[in-house]
Structure 1
Amino acid sequence: MVSVITCTIRDYYMENVFENYDNQLWDEKELIIILNKDDMDIKKWKNRAKHSQNVSVFQLPEQATPGECQNFAVYKAKYHIIAKFDDDDYYSPYYLKGQIQAMNQTGAHIVGKRDCFYYMEGKRKLMITSFKKNSQNTNVDKVTDSSLMFRKEVFNTVQFSSDEVNYDSVFQRECVKKGFKIYSTDRYNYTVIRRADVNSHTWQISDREIKRFTEEVGKIEDYKSFVTKPL
């Protein structure tokens, strides 16, 4: 029923990729992994995939852009719902269940999280978005990129841009132009992870910039227990 797609250039997040997928309390699922760096060992990923169910691993030349990798993954998907998982973020076991329920209940073409948690690994601080306008359980014009879930039929009209940056944002903007509905669920069961080394992220934004649209929850070691909300 749902195809999870993950594009990565980092071998060291392999276990996080599989853990996020394996832990999902949703049975009818598949995982499609796209390796986007030439020196990554696809055999290692395929060997790890043998210990999980319904996982396919592909490798594209590193010249392929992230948007092109995601388009390739969607083409390979066999289910009618596509869920994007970033390799380094946290998706609780209830994540897929909650997002799919929201999609079915609202009839939205796209579901995600506009409001969400950020975890600053270097400082062990949990942050929460502080937008002036309520963005939980409501229609929005954009959701956080790594929380993107959409009906595969949308892809017949809008595909990901081949641009190096902002491909997810461009995708959502084009979807809105075409009349597709975007719905934001609550902020729980998902966390954007920010590492101490900002340069290791593809999204180049400083901690100072993140603080402009977030508030501090507190210094928390076990952030997963805090953000995980059973359904």
Structure 2
Amino acid sequence: MSDIHKSLRLGDLLVEKGLITAPQLRHAIDLQKARYDSPKISSINTKHELGEILIELGYISRHQLNTNLSWQRRLKATTAMMVFVAPLLTAACGGGGGSGGGGGGNSNNQPANTVSSQMAAENPPPSSSYSVSSAKSSSLAPKSSSVSAPKSSSANSSISSESVEGPVQLLWSVPTARENGEYLDISEIGGYEIRYKLDEDTNYKSIVIKDAYVDSYYFDYLKGDYHFEIATFDNTGLYSKFVPVGPSK
């Protein structure tokens, strides 16, 4: 990975400025991962952001965090065109919705913005090979500097279409690494886009979830054979590939 890309990460900026050491950064990252992976540790009152954890450990002050977050935003604005030449993010999990018998849905975490749109189904983005894991899995196969897709918790995620009738719930795990294996902070994720269509339909409908912490979506009622896909996008609006997924059983 290029030095330009590394310099955009908060932890690297703090190390480069001598505010923390590399072992201190690794300690904070390990603690952050443990909080995401352990239901006993993870709670609504537990801090998950890397900067907040560094403050909690006493490695930096609130003023130092705010100063470096502002510097990080300026760096991203100046170097975005050089850094994000290739597609950045990849997400996986899809939603069902419905023309002809489908019903509305909602995210368990009430996403900030949900929209429906029509997207051409011809020439869909290439799908990724995907291994299924639980909703808290963070092991993702390295491919490039792109962000890895969230993994589906459904054992049917490899099926091209799914026959459903009734409520449909979709579950995925939030990506914690880029495709090359480099650690990814959740603060870099802008959200997810679910798209879905009936087998006989030509166009997809989509739902945009502008919340990186959301890992599920619920439809009140769907009926028919549906294709479900999801993609992740980052804070700059760059998208991953869309990856197929089946509803949870």
Task: Bin the TM-score by the shorter chain.
Answer: under 0.3
Which structure has the larger Rg?
Answer: 2
Q: TM-score under structure 1 normalisation?
A: 0.24
**TM-score, structure 2 normalization:** 0.23
Structure with bigger helix share is 1
